[in-house]
């Protein structure tokens, strides 16, 4: 079991060693152990925030071309980050994000896994209004506000989440399929109605022709009778 050495101090019976598993230092140490790019310095850990036993967010950066800092920490098929999560018995979720010196971009990354965010900054008050589509709102806030709380600590901004009413909410696949089915049904109904109208018109036209023919025949018969007499 990995622990972080927090402090060595003099006690009544000699030196006391204080260790922790809740420290952000433990996460950084595990990253150095599992990710060679972090150990070598080609990937820099910019910030770590944790609510131990629940969730952590780690911002990473690399100024070397050709190195993906997030991909390096996650590893192929997530093998590196999963090794770190296993140290916490699989109960602590870890979000690894791209650090940016652009505050808006950094805030958007920090609120992952929520997407399609719009950020309005107030640099003077070190705060930001974040407008989020309705269907991403729960992801941005997180369970009991955990996601936005950690993102705020990570970025150093007081974040206020609001629904972005300028964006139409995405329809669920089932709802979309139902709507498409209803539209097809309506189309069929309209086509059927048109077919009925055409059929009715054909019958009326045919009936008119037949009546006209009978009239002609009647007239001709009357004329023949007159000629015979």
Domain span at residue 121?
103-170
pLDDT in tens, 125-170: 999 999 999 999 999 999 999 999 999 999 999 999 999 988 776 6
For residues 176 and 188, state if they share a domain: yes
For residues 69 and 47, state if they share a domain: yes
Interstrand relation of 93-98 and 118-122 (parallel, antiparallel or unpaired): unpaired
For residues 36 and 126, state if they share a domain: no
For residues 22 and 76, state if they share a domain: yes
> What pLDDT is stored for residue 101 in this prediction?
96
Provide, for the chain, the percentages of residues in helix, strand and coil under a 3-state DSSP scheme, each rounded to the nearest 5. Answer: 50, 25, 25
Chosen domain end from 149, 170, 191: 170
Tell me what percent of the residues of the chain surpass a pLDDT of 90: 62
> What pLDDT is stored for residue 198 in this prediction?
60
**pLDDT tens digits, the chain, 229 residues: what are they?**
899 888 888 888 888 888 999 999 999 999 999 999 999 999 999 999 999 999 999 999 998 999 999 999 999 999 999 999 999 999 999 999 999 999 999 999 999 999 999 999 999 999 999 999 999 999 999 999 999 999 999 999 999 999 998 877 665 666 556 666 666 666 666 566 566 656 555 555 555 545 545 544 554 555 555 555 5
> Element (H or E) spanning 7, and its range?
strand 4-11
CATH number of the domain within which 111 lies: 3.30.300.20
pLDDT in tens, 79-98: 999 999 999 999 999 999 99
For residues 33 and 81, state if they share a domain: yes
For residues 23 and 110, state if they share a domain: no
- What does the alpha-carbon distance between residue 98 and residue 10 come to, in Å, rounded to a whole number? 41
> What pLDDT is stored for residue 34 in this prediction?
97
For the chain, what is the domain count? 3
> What pLDDT is stored for residue 219 in this prediction?
46
> What pLDDT is stored for residue 10 in this prediction?
85
The torsion defined by the Cα of 105, 108, 112 and 113, in degrees rounded to 10, comes to -120
Picking from 43, 48, 152, 164, the residue whose alpha carbon sits closest to that of residue 107 is 152
- What does the alpha-carbon distance between residue 216 and residue 15 come to, in Å, rounded to a whole number? 127
For residues 151 and 178, state if they share a domain: no
Chosen domain end from 130, 145, 170: 170
- Asked if residue 140 lies in contact with residue 161, where contact means CB atoms within 8 angstroms, the answer is yes
For residues 66 and 151, state if they share a domain: no
Picking from 85, 69, 64, the residue whose alpha carbon sits closest to that of residue 35 is 69
Chosen domain end from 99, 134, 155: 99
For residues 44 and 73, state if they share a domain: yes
Q: Which residues, including other chains, have CB under 8 Å from residue 5's CB and lie 6 or more apart?
A: 17, 18, 19
The CA-to-CA distance between both ends of the chain, in Å, stands at: 128
């Amino acid at each position: 079991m990995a622990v972080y050495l927090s402090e060595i101090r003099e006690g009544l019976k000699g030196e006391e060693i204080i260790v922790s598993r809740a420290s952000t230092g433990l996460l950084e140490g595990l990253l150095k152990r599992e990710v060679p790019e972090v150990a070598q310095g080609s990937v820099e850990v910019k910030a770590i925030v944790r609510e131990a036993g629940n969730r952590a967010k780690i911002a990473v950066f690399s100024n070397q071309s050709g190195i993906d800092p997030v991909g390096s920490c996650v590893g192929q098929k997530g093998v590196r980050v999963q090794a770190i999560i296993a140290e916490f018995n699989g109960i602590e979720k870890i979000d690894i994000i791209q650090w940016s010196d652009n505050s808006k971009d950094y805030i958007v990354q920090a609120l992952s896994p929520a997407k399609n965010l719009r950020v309005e900054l107030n640099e003077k008050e070190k705060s930001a209004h974040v407008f989020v589509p309705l269907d991403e709102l729960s992801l941005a806030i997180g369970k009991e506000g955990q996601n936005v709380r950690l993102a705020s600590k990570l970025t150093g901004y007081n974040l206020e989440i609001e629904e972005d009413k300028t964006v139409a909410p995405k329809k669920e696949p089932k709802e979309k399929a139902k709507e498409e089915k209803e539209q097809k049904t309506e189309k069929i109904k309209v086509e059927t109605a048109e077919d009925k109208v055409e059929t009715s018109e054909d019958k009326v036209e045919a009936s008119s022709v037949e009546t006209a023919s009978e009239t002609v025949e009647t007239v001709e018969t009357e004329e023949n009778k007159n000629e015979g007499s």
